[in-house]
Amino acid sequence: MVQVSMKLEMKDTPGQLVRALKPISDTGGNIIAVIHQRESLTRAEVIDVQVVIELPEKRLEELVARMNEQGVTVQRIGTERLIHKKSLILIGHIMHTDLTDTVDHIDTTGYAEVSELELIMPAIAEPSSARMMIKATNAEAMNKALEILRQVARKKDILVIESLEENG
Amino acid sequence: MKVALLGLGSVGQGIASMVLKKGLGITITGLADSKSGIIDAKGINIEEILVRKRGGNPAGDTSVSAMDVVQNADYDVLVEVTPTNISTGEPARTHITSALRKGRHVVTSNKGPIALHHRELLTLADTHHVSLRYEATVCGAIPIIHILEHGLLGNQVKALHGIMNGTCNFILTRMSEEGLSYEQALAEAREMGYAEADPSYDVKGIDPAIKLVILANAIWNLGVTLHEVEITGIDQITPEALRLAGEDDATIRLIAEAIPARQLLRVSPRILPRSHPLVVKGTLNAVTLETDMAGSLTFIGKGAGSIETASAIIGDILFIREQYDGCS
């Protein structure tokens, strides 16, 4: 699955928005957000709509074709490949156990990466604390990435604190 | 209803003082502390005993033992509130099995025998057609066992998450709210009487793990033991980690969780949004149950304390009286 944001242009006629959005579910996608800005009317009888959707990467072309058939012009497409995010806290000797190596274990997977890292080192020889954001292509990839992190952390005697919500 | 009370520490004294104050139709006919015992079929003078105990004296006759009370007193329910021994469950286990074999009901706050010998003890109670109740072993005043056994009949409980150790929750609350170090918060917990001289039983997560075992066995009859729980305590948590969690409007709490479908039994520090129902403050306990019909339910209450634990014990005693008409 990829997350896609699209800017659409369509005729301002009754039912047109519903017709424009129908191909999304037809191609196995989920709508995350629809932003419909009526006041930004530029030309008479034409409206701009922004949608954020999630769909199988391979079906993106098909979706655009189907939308075109409905009389919708796709003006812009932006995709984000790594849509699953998870925030963790690490405690231990994070720097001195080769932080680059720890991060590389995730980044070299091809399906996940460390996207944010905030590190606090209170004093020399004291354990440091870090907040780490991991992004992954999907839930399964996230679980695999987390298992890699847990194993690396165990070897380096680093405590990994995971969130409760996403594990529930 | 005639009761024999074993153990006259904080919990035992709480029970005795509530029976004295509220009556409740409970008569204490046998009583033992660690050094002495009393047997009186007509009812022991509780007021006198409490005065003696608070003066630092043995409650009764030093030639009478707890086992003498179990074997010879005239009682319907044995209340076993002696200190917990988590490696053997003794002497509580012997007290409990002896009373059950005599056909007497048992109510206990003692985690040792319940965590170690749950199935064996319940089977023994069944064989002798009596009740063994242990509400007071987990989450203090929260009637979680009653809720599971009676309040949620027909529901399937899919998961359980909880804060089951007031000491750890107090330490994490203070670290989070005041920016204290772990050592400072622990020292404060000791000063307030929330932490033992050796706090490892709490801060290493062993106490909540024992409670998790008791609850998992009570709900799903899994027959699990402490060795099957993956345990991480709170003694490595830094104030910086709590500060980092705070940046996301979250905090860290020690969570006990059981999800049988995933064969998961774990006690570990976890990140929770501050608005999460399990984020309770100070020494409070909280339990969330995920059920198929009732959805998600969260119960919050005091996890320890003399009178709060007495509430759980007395609730069990009176429940037995309601269930068995023969008792008077």
B257: nearest CA partner in chain A: A168
**In a domain? residue B269:** yes
- The answer to whether B100 and B106 have CB atoms below 8 angstroms apart is yes
- Which among A52, A80, A108 is the end of a domain? A80
**In a domain? residue B183:** yes
Are A163 and B270 a contacting pair at CB < 8 A?
yes
Residue pairs between chains A and B whose CB atoms are closer than 8 Å: 65
**In a domain? residue B38:** yes
Rounded Cα–Cα distance for residues B146 and B151 (Å): 7
Indicate if A144 and A75 belong to the same structural domain. no
Identify the domain containing residue A12 by its residue range.
Answer: 2-80
Are B241 and A89 a contacting pair at CB < 8 A?
yes
Indicate if B68 and B175 belong to the same structural domain. no
Look up the ipTM and state it: 0.85
Q: How far is C-alpha A125 from the chain's CA centre?
A: 36
Indicate if A23 and A67 belong to the same structural domain. yes
CATH number at residue A70: 3.30.70.260
- Which among A80, A99, A116 is the end of a domain? A80
CATH number at residue B128: 3.40.50.720
Q: Measure A126 CA to nearest chain B CA, in Å.
A: 10
CATH number at residue B278: 3.30.360.10
Whole-Å CA distances, B170 to A73, A90, A122, B302, B313: 59, 22, 23, 12, 24
Q: Does A127 touch chain B (CB under 8 A)?
A: yes
Indicate if A38 and A72 belong to the same structural domain. yes
Rounded Cα–Cα distance for residues A59 and B77 (Å): 70
CATH number at residue A93: 3.30.70.2690
Indicate if B101 and B178 belong to the same structural domain. no
Higher pLDDT, B177 or A44: B177
**In a domain? residue B56:** yes
Higher pLDDT, A57 or B265: B265
Indicate if B108 and B186 belong to the same structural domain. no
Indicate if A22 and A69 belong to the same structural domain. yes
Q: Measure B114 CA to nearest chain A CA, in Å.
A: 27
**Residue A103: what are its φ and ψ, rounded to 5°?**
-65, -40
**In a domain? residue B162:** yes
Are B244 and A118 a contacting pair at CB < 8 A?
yes
Indicate if B11 and B58 belong to the same structural domain. yes
- The answer to whether B42 and B2 have CB atoms below 8 angstroms apart is no
Q: Does A89 touch chain B (CB under 8 A)?
A: yes
Indicate if A14 and A70 belong to the same structural domain. yes
In the numeric block, which tokens belong to residue B125?
Answer: 């109670």
A162: nearest CA partner in chain B: B270
For B134-138, B202-206, B270-274, B324-328, which range has the lowest pLDDT when averaged over its residues?
Answer: B324-328
Indicate if A116 and A162 belong to the same structural domain. yes
Mean pLDDT within B307-327 = 90
pLDDT at residue A37 in the model: 67
Indicate if A93 and A163 belong to the same structural domain. yes
Domain count for chain A = 2
Q: B267: which strand partners?
A: B231, B256
Rounded Cα–Cα distance for residues A93 and A88 (Å): 16
Show the DSSP H helices in B34-74 as ranges. 46-54, 66-72
**In a domain? residue B328:** no
A86: nearest CA partner in chain B: B271
Q: Is a pLDDT exceeding 90 seen at residue A49?
A: no
**Residue numbers in A near B243 (CB within 8 A):** 120, 129
**In a domain? residue B258:** yes
Percent of chain B clearing pLDDT 90 (strictly above): 91
pLDDT tens digit sequence for B42-85: 999 999 999 999 888 898 999 999 999 999 999 999 999 999 99
Indicate if B163 and B131 belong to the same structural domain. no
Indicate if A54 and A119 belong to the same structural domain. no
Whole-Å CA distances, B149 to A98, B37, B133, B219: 51, 34, 11, 8
Mean pLDDT within B127-153 = 95
Rounded Cα–Cα distance for residues A76 and A53 (Å): 13
Indicate if B34 and B118 belong to the same structural domain. yes
pLDDT tens digit sequence for B287-297: 999 999 999 99
- DSSP state string for B186-199: HHHHHHTT-S-SST
Indicate if A93 and A37 belong to the same structural domain. no
Indicate if A68 and A94 belong to the same structural domain. no
Residue B154 CB neighbours (<10 A): 8
Three state DSSP letters for A84-146: EEEEEEEEECCCCCCHHHHHHHHHCCCCEEEEEEEEECCCCCCCEEEEEEEEECCHHHHHHHH
Are A161 and B269 a contacting pair at CB < 8 A?
yes
- Which among A50, A80, A110 is the end of a domain? A80
**Cβ-nearest to B244 among A129, A159, A165:** A129
Indicate if B182 and B95 belong to the same structural domain. no
Indicate if A31 and A58 belong to the same structural domain. yes
**Local confidence band at B232 (pLDDT 50, 70, 90 cut-offs):** very high
Indicate if B111 and B174 belong to the same structural domain. no
In the numeric block, which tokens belong to residue A115?
Answer: 């996207």
Indicate if B280 and B221 belong to the same structural domain. yes
pLDDT tens digit sequence for B234-248: 999 999 999 999 999
A118: nearest CA partner in chain B: B244
Indicate if A67 and A15 belong to the same structural domain. yes
**Local confidence band at A168 (pLDDT 50, 70, 90 cut-offs):** very low
**Residue A147: what are its φ and ψ, rounded to 5°?**
-65, -40
- The answer to whether B5 and B80 have CB atoms below 8 angstroms apart is no
Q: State the DSSP code for B64.
A: -
Higher pLDDT, A146 or A47: A146
pLDDT tens digit sequence for A95-121: 999 999 999 999 999 889 999 999 999
Indicate if B122 and B213 belong to the same structural domain. no
Domain count for chain B = 2
Percent of chain B clearing pLDDT 70 (strictly above): 99
Indicate if B95 and B162 belong to the same structural domain. no
**Cβ-nearest to B271 among A120, A128, A164:** A164
Identify the domain containing residue B184 by its residue range.
Answer: 147-302
Q: Is the N-terminal amide bond of A122 cis, ω within 30° of 0? A: no
Q: Is a pLDDT exceeding 80 seen at residue A1?
A: no
For A58-62, B86-90, B133-137, B286-290, which range has the lowest pLDDT when averaged over its residues?
Answer: A58-62
Q: Is a pLDDT exceeding 90 seen at residue B318?
A: yes
**Residue numbers in A near B237 (CB within 8 A):** 91
The residues of B annotated as belonging to the active site are 211
pLDDT at residue A167 in the model: 42
Indicate if B175 and B134 belong to the same structural domain. no
**Residue numbers in B near A165 (CB within 8 A):** 272-273, 276
Are A159 and B273 a contacting pair at CB < 8 A?
no
